[in-house]
Amino acid sequence: MASLALMACGSNDPDTGRDTAEPGSSAAAQSDAKVGLAFDVGGRGDKSFNDSAVAGLDKAKAEFGFESEELSPNASGSDRGDNLRQLAEDGFNPVIAVGFAFAESLQAVATDFPDTTFLIVDDASVKSPNVKALLFAEEQGSFLVGAAAALKSKTGNVGYIGGVETPLLKKFEAGFVAGAKQVKPDIKTQVKYLSQPPDFSGFGAPDKGKETANGMYDAGADVVYAAAGGSGVGVFQSALAKKTLAIGVDSDQYESVGDPTLQPVILTSMLKRVDVAVYESLQKFLNEEELPAESVFDLSTDGVGYSTSGGFVDDISTQLEELKGKIISGEIKVPTTP
In tens, the pLDDT along 88-111 reads: 999 999 999 999 999 999 999 999
Do 157 and 255 fall into the same domain?
yes
Nearest CA among 62, 133, 47, 142 for reference residue 98: 133
- CATH number reported for the structural domain that contains residue 37 in this entry: 3.40.50.2300
Q: Does a cis peptide bond (omega within 30 degrees of 0) precede residue 94? A: yes
The total of structural domains in the chain comes to 2
Find the mean pLDDT for residues 179-184: 98
Do 129 and 142 fall into the same domain?
no
Do 170 and 312 fall into the same domain?
yes
DSSP 214-254: HHHHHTT-SEEEEE-GGGHHHHHHHHHHHT-EEEEEES-HH
Do 38 and 175 fall into the same domain?
no
In a domain, 234, yes or no: yes
pLDDT, tens digit (0-9, with 9 covering 90-100), for 107-118: 999 999 999 999
pLDDT, tens digit (0-9, with 9 covering 90-100), for 162-178: 999 999 999 999 999 99
Using DSSP's 3-state secondary structure scheme, residue 307 falls into coil
How far is residue 44's CA from residue 51's CA, in Å, rounded to a whole number?
Answer: 5
Do 268 and 175 fall into the same domain?
yes
More confident residue, 26 or 143: 143
Do 112 and 162 fall into the same domain?
no
More confident residue, 85 or 12: 85
Do 168 and 119 fall into the same domain?
no
pTM: 0.83
Buried b (16+ CB within 10 A) or exposed e, 225-254: bbbbbbbbbbbbbbbbebebbbbbbbbbbb
Find the mean pLDDT for residues 192-207: 94
Do 188 and 289 fall into the same domain?
no
In a domain, 5, yes or no: no
Do 230 and 110 fall into the same domain?
no
In a domain, 25, yes or no: no
pLDDT at 29: 53
